Structure 1
């Protein structure tokens, strides 16, 4: 691709690939910040009548509530459906690996472990689907093959079995530079190339099998539950905005049926066994109206031609085509898919609001209502919470699949407990020794009524960002995964980074929940942080909370950086930057996958374990590193099964079809080369890391690691 189409070329942070910026989020960092609102981004603790002790449930009445109000992240029968990978036990033992230089083209795992790909881009899901042939791709073939750039991942073992299950993965976006021979991308083939890309988006559901517990899973070609969901799959729309005039198009005058899902990032598995997926950077696929609008601007939609050019192949991707003015409003939702029923119609849930969802994760409150959390992954955007109207019914999947259709929507406002003078943007700890405070869930829709002046319920749900601006939500540093702890109920929020905080024209300076700001690498938030949030009385339906910063990320070897690991000595942790996806193991430890370490601290993206309790709280240990150019996604921790799974996304980004910078995942020079002898194409894949002891003679655990120079 010509540099003309890579605005971030030469302007990325550190060593981040301009191709990643271009294809993943439409060069968001090269464009103006979408949130130009002047809502209060921070409120001092003195402005609220609620004390920190009351919010944290430390008073007598609230303390009693903690003792009797027990929440669960997933119901017992759901844990059984996952093959018993619930709480308790835990035997994943490893010695942390050293950080891996960003040029190393290898999956690096600890001693005693090995790795193998389970499924790769282009692998056929169905018996009649052709084998992958990079030189002879078609949209029809891709619609039956594993999609591109897998992000969210789960491995769901069948109930009562350790030998069968399903894999569910999102496919976030495509990189045509690596997918197609540029000589083929002429006027005769450009429409087909776009349709191939459309078919490579969405989700895959794939049956798995293995010989015995603790060994490698293999995918089943032709499995009864295998399914591809793409940019043209039919979706139902439910919730209060279903049927709204804001969702109607010439193809769907009902406003209740949408074709496709786009830019699916993270997600979550519900207690009733379905999968939720977040539509994230959907704006880059759509051409806005010729005149523009405040709504379009707030979502980053512009009037000019899109860089992907899909509007030239399918008219619904341009609001300038009559009848398609609302098509973009039909994206940016949380979708729900039943991985056990390939004939079921997936659903877009409007009750959870429309924004750039990183994902959604669910817990069941003590009173039986379901609570879902989601981050809006953009600089200065917000954290949201949804509380269902109806209650969870154990074992009643049909009923439970309606729980996200009606309920109340809130957005978070954070307050700090330190004087403003102590939050100077440097990341220096305030005098009380912690970045912490309290917060409130501000109402957007409650009991079927809008709580935002001047906006109807439909407008709040379709233009949720504007509603949250009016409500006074706290501008955060790219909130991504929001995960409830499976036993304590505490929330963990990954905030990837934000180098624009504190700049004069961005209307948001440092605050205690986002304490780093500035224009230099030493002071700006290039490396991100993680917040731990405790809802009042440990009640998932509470509308107040306490919070603290668990990690202020970075490389301890960079002396100018201000880092914080909950009091654990910084010199004893693995370097970590740009936290993205979160997971937990059976002992309750937090696992963090990263997206952007090559561009900030110079190391390959990685997966880290973080201790949450005891004297080692805040200890970060690196478990693996992904290859050059790749991002670590997923992850799934089955430590009782001696396995860890990650989705390796965009390996070799920054390379080209003719000159790739990665040979992942096969690393065989002659294997899968195109017939004209050009270089091998890297293939995004799902990888299983497992104990070498349980899989003697299988997999890879190389001592020597290739660099990209060796690979290409």
Structure 2
């Protein structure tokens, strides 16, 4: 059962998008937003406007909106380095291959999502200078991991399986910068780690009867829970079946959301099958008015859908052990942008799933486990709206609106992508209706293209990194330079306007941004620098290479120079 078996009209989303760009939006005047985006942007004119004063706790209720960035925006560049505005500095932290555990394990390859967990979090603390970081490692470049891109040996396959997954790393801010420090919780979760399946698909035929599986792979973006655990999202998992032939790799056991407790190495990681199987980019988790936990997710493919998970149980701040089971059971929904509704993906309660047939007239699903194991096909079967590569989703800390980056869709000529936002009915994240509009549109007129990971600061400003990959010689290359990070005010006269903050090295994406709690450090992953290299003799980048070598290394960087969170 594949997603191609469900009937779908891919052009529906593009008709809806055109309508949103030309009429009054559901939340405001979209025409006004589009007009503002059409104005030429002189990046050199964006002067810093940060107030003076002491840092305050990162509580959005104490902070007012900002309409200009705290930096002078920079121009695009193709330099093989991290380029930042004047007054900001960066350092390499936790590069691929760095030993960091007591037993000599190394930091994995191709960093993505980063979670920031203050070491005193479980005691109610909010340390900004001492934390456990969780770093996703999405995939490997076989040229750099083993030096063989074709006929992998068993040893190379094992090395690749050890290089993906997640690193849990303790870091501390010392006088001369951030450092990795020893800790019994420092560890690697990789493609060979035992992980428990939970939820409706556990032990079902849809996962070949498995209750415990091996490994987590394709670890793209993710999320953090209110109870202090990591949600790592498994995205592109099918290609490993051929690449790792003979290793016992099973694709049906991947493609889920996996929960990991960075504070408790003895707690077995859990794959949350109730949240569905598809190409997960991230999870934006929050707590609804009635205490149920709500998670927003995107399926990172062309003409794929946006999802919402609502837990059955309710969050209890004082009961962490109970909260760690909240994602075991709940309802999965898919968004229909045509009428602004959430459609339930439940086999017993949605007849469309019972009646869905493949091209030969055979039932697509026989159980809820089947629905969850191919959530993409289920979403299209019930009328979910296919959109343009929904990647990261984040929730505005002041308004509660949900922002979605739609990266691009070359199948329909959308090379530049857009960011949309929606508000749930009654401002309740568990609602079944919503209103949406376009926030920003990529292209030469706005200065950015292919929006990917998003993160808000407590003022409600949006920070975004781009994903201009595999698009050939389209117009992006003429104005964008290397992949970059942008700042967007979300309120005031400059709402939706892009200001370039950082530019990464050659061939790289900037991914997984996360703030320290005081707002003085931004942690940012540099993924796949030098990925277009033809060989080890013809490298396109040497970013973060070890001394005396030229092989580029994916890494985490710590960026400083920010004034910290300041009162309005």
Q: TM-score, normalised by structure 2?
A: 0.83
Does the Cα contact within 8 Å between 1:275 and 1:337 map onto a contact in 2? yes
- The residue aligned with 1:443 is 344
Q: 1:548 to 1:186 in 2, by over 3 A?
A: closer
Secondary structure of the residue aligned to 1:127 is coil
In structure 2, distance between residues paired with 1:186 and 1:376? 29
The structure-2 alpha-carbon separation of the partners of 1:331 and 1:375, relative to structure 1 and needing over 3 Å to count, comes to: same
1:615 paired to 2:518: no
Q: Structure 1 pair 388/447, CA: closer, same or farther in 2 (3 Å)? A: farther
Distance 2:132 2:72 in 1: 30
1:595 aligns with 2:467: yes
Alignment match, 1:205: 168
In structure 2, the partner of 1:428 is none
> Counterpart in 2 of 1:229?
189
SS at match of 2:174: coil
1:180 Cα offset (Å)? 3.1
- What's the CA shift for 1:489? 1.3
Describe the superposition over 1:428-481 as per-residue Cα deviations: whole angstroms up to 9, x where unpaired.
Answer: xxxxxxxxxx51111112888876224321111112112112101111111111
Q: Which residue of structure 1 lines up, in the alignment, with residue 39 of structure 2?
A: none
In structure 2, C-alpha distance between the alignment counterparts of 1:406 and 1:451, rounded to whole Å: 22
Distance apart, 1:125 and its partner CA: 1.5
Q: Distance in 1 between matches of 2:553 and 2:194?
A: 27
Structure 2: distance between partners of 1:579 and 1:390? 34
Q: Which runs of 5+ in 1 are unaligned?
A: 1-32, 46-51, 58-82, 130-143, 249-253, 287-305, 318-326, 416-437, 502-523, 557-569, 674-679, 695-712
- For 1:665, which of 531, 544, 548 is the aligned residue? 544
The higher radius of gyration belongs to: 1
Q: Equivalent residues in 2 for 1:47-66 (5 A)?
A: none
Q: Which residue of 1 aligns with 2:444?
A: 555
CA, structure 1 residues 238+449, in 2 after alignment: closer, same or farther (shift >3 Å)? farther
The change in CA–CA distance for 1:197 and 1:264 in structure 2 (over 3 A counts) is same
Q: Name the Cα RMSD after superposition.
A: 2.8
1:80-119 equivalences under 5 Å are: 85-87=58-60, 88-89=62-63, 93-101=70-78, 104-119=79-94
User: SS state of the match for residue 627, structure 1?
Assistant: coil
Confirm whether residue 280 of structure 1 aligns to residue 280 of structure 2. no
CA contact (8 A) 2:140 2:160 kept: yes
Per-residue displacement from partner, 1:570-628 (whole Å, max 9, x unpaired)? Answer: 5xxxx111111010012110111111178552210011111101111111111101100
Structure 2: distance between partners of 1:590 and 1:447: 40
Q: Aligned to 2:201, which of 241, 260, 263?
A: 241
Contact 2:519–2:562 (Cα < 8 Å) also in 1: no
Residue from 289, 308, 311 that aligns with 2:245: 311
How far the C-alpha of 1:118 sits from its partner, in A, is 1.2
Of 682, 686, 708, 2:556 maps to: 686
CA contact (8 A) 1:529 1:551 kept: yes
Unaligned runs of 5+ in 2: 17-22, 29-55, 356-364
CA–CA separation in structure 1 for the residues paired with 2:419 and 2:489? 13
Is 1:260–2:215 an aligned residue pair? yes
- Give, in angstroms, the shift of residue 156 of structure 1: 2.1
The alpha carbon displacement at 1:95 in A equals 0.6
Partner of residue 359, structure 2: none
Aligned position for 2:140: 174
Aligned position for 1:158: 119
Secondary structure of residue in 2 paired with 1:445: coil
Structure 2 CA distance, aligned partners of 1:693 and 1:388? 38
CA shift at 1:237, angstroms?
A: 0.5
Tell which deviates more after alignment, 627-636 or 442-451. 442-451
**C-alpha contact (below 8 Å) 1:586/1:639 kept by paired residues:** no
Helix, strand or coil for the counterpart of 2:295?
strand
Deviation at 1:216, TM superposition (A): 3.2
Alpha-carbon displacement from aligned partner over 1:664-710 (angstroms, at most 9, x marks no partner): 125x7xx142xxxxxx210100001101999xxxxxxxxxxxxxxxx
Query: Deviation per CA, 1:40-87, whole angstroms, max 9, x where unpaired?
Result: 553999xxxxxx999879xxxxxxxxxxxxxxxxxxxxxxxxx95443
Matches of 1:123 and 1:235, distance apart in 2: 25
For the residue of structure 2 that corresponds to 1:592, the secondary structure is: strand
Take 1:347 and 1:219, find their aligned partners in 2: how far apart are those partners? 27
CA pair 401-538 structure 1, distance change in 2 beyond 3 A: same
8 Å CA contact 2:165, 2:191 repeated in 1:
yes
Compute the displacement of 1:487 (Å): 2.5
The yes-or-no answer on 1:649 pairing with 2:520 is: no
Name the CA distance, whole Å, in 2 between partners of 1:84 and 1:261: 35
Is the Cα contact below 8 Å between 2:145 and 2:160 reproduced in 1? no
Q: What is residue 399 of structure 2 aligned with on the other side?
A: 488
Q: Distance in 2 between matches of 1:206 and 1:391?
A: 30
Alignment of 1:148 onto 2:109: yes
Whether the aligned pair in 1 keeps the contact of 2:25 and 2:437 (CA below 8 Å) is: no
SS in 2 for 1:654: coil
Aligned to 2:327: 404
Q: Matches of 1:532 and 1:206 in 2, distance apart?
A: 34
CA-CA distance at 1:277 after TM superposition: 1.1
Q: Residues 457 and 127 (structure 1 numbering): CA distance in 2 closer, same or farther, change over 3 Å?
A: closer
Q: Which residue of 1 aligns with 2:8?
A: 39
Task: Name the SS of the counterpart of 1:532 in structure 2.
Answer: strand
Aligned pair in 2 of structure 1 residues 473, 181: CA closer, same or farther (>3 Å)?
A: closer
State the SS of the aligned residue for 1:442.
Answer: strand
Q: Determine helix, strand or coil for the equivalent of 2:251.
A: helix
> CA offset at residue 186 of structure 1?
9.9
1:23-34 equivalent positions in 2, closer than 5 A: none
For 1:450 and 1:147, locate their aligned partners in 2 and report how far apart those are by CA, in whole Å.
44
How far did 1:229 drift?
0.5
Contact 1:450–1:460, Cα closer than 8 Å, also in 2: no
Preserved CA contact (<8 Å) 1:443 1:451 = no
Number of equivalences? 502
* Match among 512, 524, 531 for residue 634 of structure 1: 512
Aligned to 1:434: none
Q: Show the counterpart of 2:354.
A: 453
Q: Distance in 1 between matches of 2:156 and 2:128?
A: 40
Distance 1:192 1:84, change over 3 A: farther
CA distance in 1, matches of 2:347, 2:325: 18
